[in-house]
Amino acid sequence: MTDLIGRVLGAGRYRIDSELGGGGQAIVFRGTHLSLDMAVAIKILSFGAAGDHAAQVRFQREAQRAAALRHPNIVTIYDYAFEDGMYYIVSDFIEGMDLQKLLQTKPGPMPVDQVLAYVRQVGEALDYAHRQNIVHRDIKPANILLDRREG
Decide if 138 is catalytic. yes
Structural domains of the chain, ranges and CATH numbers in brackets: 2-92 (3.30.200.20), 96-150 (no CATH)
Asked whether 103 and 110 are in contact (CB, 8 A), the reply is: yes
Long-range CB contacts for residues 113-118, cutoff 8 Å, separation at least 24: 118/144, 118/146
Residue-wise pLDDT for 60-119, tens only, equals: 999 999 999 999 999 999 999 999 989 999 999 999 999 999 999 999 999 999 999 999
pLDDT of residue 67: 96
Catalytic residue, candidates 17, 52, 138, 147: 138
Residue 47: pLDDT band (50, 70, 90) is confident
- Which whole number is the average pLDDT over 31-53? 93
Cα–Cα distance, 48 to 50 (Å, whole number): 5
Is the pTM for the entire model greater than 0.85? yes
* Whether the predicted pLDDT of 150 surpasses 80: no
* Whether the predicted pLDDT of 7 surpasses 80: yes
String of b and e for 31-54 (b: at least 16 CB within 10 Å)? bbbeeeeeebbbbbbbeebbeeee
